[in-house]
Each structure stands twice: as C-alpha cells, then as structure tokens.
Amino acid sequence: MTETVRALVDRLCAGEHLTEPEYAALVAGRDGEAAARLRERAVAVRRSIYGDAVFTRGLIEISSFCKNDCLYCGIRRSNANAQRYRLTGEEILLCAQEGYRLGFRTFVLQGGEDGYYTDSVLWDIIRALKRRFPDCAVTLSLGERSLDSYRALRQAGADRYLLRHETADRAHYGALHPREMSFDNRMRCLQDLRTLGYQVGCGFMVGSPGQTPETLAKDLAFVAAFQPDMCGIGPFIPHRDTPFRDRPAGSVELTCFLLSVIRLLCPAVLLPATTALGTLHPQGRELGIQSGANVVMPNLSPLSVRKKYALYDNKLCTGEESAQCRACLEQRMRSIGYELVTHRGDVRKPQIPRERKARRAPL
Ligand code: 5AD
Ligand code: FES
C-alpha cells in the first residue's frame, strides 16, 4: 500500500468521508492490503450494528416490459429477442404467499417501466399485500415515476423504494442511457422518494462501460452525502442483445472493495450481496457479505418467467424453485458463519417520519 492510500484507508476506517479526488485516488491506487483493511473494519462496523444477521428480501420480478432503452439492459425496449411477460395481481399474491410460508417478511416488486402498472393497478396490489401480510414490508423497484405517483403508492402502503442512480456522473449517465432519459429526473425521483418518507435505495453497477475512478468517486461522494437506507451495487454483466454485448464484465474484486467503502460511509445501510455478484463468481454473494454487505435477495418469481427477466447473460437462480433458492442461500450464509433472519429488517435509524423535507445533497 502506498503511503497515500494508507492514509485514505485510515481516515475511512476512522469514520471520515473523503473528497472526490481522494475517492478517485483510493480506487485507482487500491491493492489487496488496502482491501483487507477496509473489509475488516467494514465487517466490524456492520457487526456492531446488526450482529451476524443477514436479512432476506423476496424478489418478485413482476414485468419484463420496459419503455426505456438503457444501453446495458437486456429488457430494453429495442431488444426484439426479449421475452416479455407481466404478472397479474393474483400471481403476485401467490408468490408472496409462498414467500411468506418460507419466512420472507419483505417483498420486493421489481420490474421494467411498464405502463400496465398504473397507480390504480399498483394501489390494489399493494393494498392486497398489506392486508394479507400486515407484518411485511413492501419494497418497490419500478423505475422513474412522478411525485404524485410515488405519493399514491406510499399512501397505498409501500414502505421502501429502490432506484439505482446508476452513475452520479452526468456525462457517464448520458453514455449509458438514451437521450430521452435524464440524470436530473433520476435525481429528482430519489429526492421525491425521500421527501415522501420511503426508505430509499440508490446504487450503481461496477464496471459499466465508461466507468472510471473519477466517475466512481462521484458515486461514493453521492452515496456519502445522500445517506441512502439501502444501496444496490453489483457488477455490470453484458447481455448478448444489447449494444454493450462485447464489453467486459465488472470485477468481483472492485465490487467487494466498494461494498466495504460504502459500509464505512453509511454504517447502518442495508447493502445487498447481489445476484449479479453471485453470477460472476461461485462464491460471489458470500464474498460480498464478508466485505460488508448484509442483505440477500432470493428470487420468488414464478419459475415460468424466471428466464424472461434477463437483465444480463447467465443470471443465477433461473431454474430453481423459491424454496430451493431460500435453502441454498441459508446454507451459503451458514457456511460462512452468518444467520439468515426472517423479520422485516428495517434500517437501524431513528424513526423516519412519513413526510419530511428533502435533505440537501450535492447533485
Ligand atoms: N448487468 C448488471 N446489472 C444490470 N442492471 C441492468 N442491466 C444490468 C447488466 N447488464 C441493473 C441496473 C438496474 C438493476 C435493476 O439492474 O443497475 O438498476
Ligand atoms: Fe437461488 Fe442459490 S440462491 S439457487
């Protein structure tokens, strides 16, 4: 480790935040020793807040229709080879019922930006979920919507919302997305969600085309300032039917390094070891947990649609039943000395008021 990197690592371990150029220097200058120091501290910080608990969220992939055309994503609208499906409210409830039986107390409804799911359709689904499973949290991951829409879904009972910011660098955002999508709107959505009292998740891919230590530095500075309740980060993996088909996948090593840094920047954050990490490495999710992550999200989608929700190639868990996925992860976590816990697993923070003023974050 160079002296410069050592000093940066020490400051992060002491709970300090860094400047953007310092984050860039850390990422560019990291080595195995720096990673090990950060990992050890990240695990200690997480343990002091959450013990050895790993939280589970049941992921229900409700639709592979998407009106967007993000260059990295396998379900982008211009992919004519994508197999499209959407789940009805009834089907979603059946997935949740099976999930509840298996011990899940958070359901994540994730899908492309599909116009079928109007506020009123979602209202009925969220209300039904909350009525049937009052002890469960409902998390939405349905992309960009209006403030009014987010408010309606919150009033229906949604507790949390995941919307990865994808990159905090405006020019990089432009290189990953079609012209009609806007960085400002993405950031507006995150602020709106927070104002409405959701527990909010942001996040980004590691190794997306065009990413540099400088763009990652902006991501880290953004995460440090925004202090999300959740943060989804996983490696980019190319999909054969996208313009990025020939780009290299992100690195497991860098993903794990960033998981440790983010744990230190946001000590209580709920940080998943993602399926994408597990796809790139047979022990990817275990490595993620051992780097500071504390959430896993097994798949509860019906087996018949699993392969169709293909954001990237070779996605894991597309042939396994929900029960198998859950048992597999339980075993994996046990093998590294962690316990899957089944309660809602809310973020450890003072109670979040239902509506509150947007916190200022540098956008
Ligand atoms: N590789 C890895 N992650 C991807 N996502 C979309 N496409 C890919 C890909 N090719 C991520 C995005 C999105 C989340 C649902 O999945 O970050 O926000
Ligand atoms: Fe799905 Fe292992 S987590 S099969």
pLDDT at 285 over 70: yes
| CA separation for the pair 346, 363 (Å, rounded) | 26
CA 15–ligand 2 middle distance (angstroms) = 34
Confidence of residue 354 (pLDDT cuts 50, 70, 90): very low
| pLDDT (mean) for 141-156 | 98
| pLDDT (mean) for 82-110 | 97
CA 317–ligand 2 middle distance (angstroms) = 5
Ligand sitting nearest the alpha carbon of 330: 2
pLDDT at 73 over 70: yes
8 A C-beta contact, residue 333 and residue 289: yes
The Cβ-side half-sphere exposure at 184, using a 13 Å CA radius, reads 2
**Complete domains list, the chain, with CATH:** 3-357 (3.20.20.70)
State percent of the chain over pLDDT 70.
Answer: 96
3-state class (DSSP) for residue 115: coil
Encode pLDDT of 32-53 as tens digits: 999 999 999 999 999 999 999 9
pLDDT at 87 over 90: yes
Rounded to two decimals, the pTM is 0.94
Name the nearest CA neighbour of 301 among 48, 55, 58: 58
Check residue 348 and give its pLDDT.
83
The ligand 1 atom at the shortest distance from the C-alpha of residue 162 is: 18
- What order do you get walking across the sheet with 295-296 strand by strand? 295-296, 53-56, 339-341
CA 153–ligand 2 middle distance (angstroms) = 30
Ligand sitting nearest the alpha carbon of 142: 1
pLDDT at 167 over 60: yes
Encode pLDDT of 19-34 as tens digits: 999 999 999 999 999 9
Q: Is the CB of 98 under 6 A from ligand 1?
A: no
CA 195–ligand 2 middle distance (angstroms) = 35
Check residue 349 and give its pLDDT.
65
Q: What is the CA radius of gyration of the chain?
A: 19
| pLDDT (mean) for 92-115 | 97
Check residue 213 and give its pLDDT.
98
The Cβ-side half-sphere exposure at 104, using a 13 Å CA radius, reads 31
The Cβ-side half-sphere exposure at 217, using a 13 Å CA radius, reads 15
pLDDT at 168 over 50: yes
| CA separation for the pair 214, 325 (Å, rounded) | 37
3-state DSSP helix/strand/coil % of the chain, to nearest 5: 45, 15, 45
Q: Is the CB of 329 under 6 A from ligand 2?
A: yes
Q: Is the CB of 320 under 6 A from ligand 2?
A: yes
Q: Is the CB of 68 under 6 A from ligand 2?
A: no
CA 10–ligand 1 middle distance (angstroms) = 32
Residue with tokens 């597309």: 318
Ligand sitting nearest the alpha carbon of 141: 1
Question: Measuring from atom 13 of ligand 1, which residue has the nearest CA?
Answer: 164
8 A C-beta contact, residue 278 and residue 285: yes
Q: Is the CB of 311 under 6 A from ligand 1?
A: yes
Encode pLDDT of 196-244 as tens digits: 999 999 999 999 999 999 999 999 999 999 999 999 999 999 999 999 9
Strands 58-63, 53-56: pairing is: unpaired
CA distance from start to end of the chain: 32
3-state class (DSSP) for residue 138: strand
Q: Is the CB of 276 under 6 A from ligand 1?
A: yes
The ligand 2 atom at the shortest distance from the C-alpha of residue 296 is: 3
State percent of the chain over pLDDT 90.
Answer: 92
| CA separation for the pair 104, 96 (Å, rounded) | 8
Query: What does the block give as tokens for 228?
Result: 């999300």
3-state class (DSSP) for residue 51: coil
pLDDT at 356 over 50: no
CA 288–ligand 2 middle distance (angstroms) = 15
| CA separation for the pair 182, 179 (Å, rounded) | 7
What is the amino acid identity at position 48? S
Check residue 343 and give its pLDDT.
84
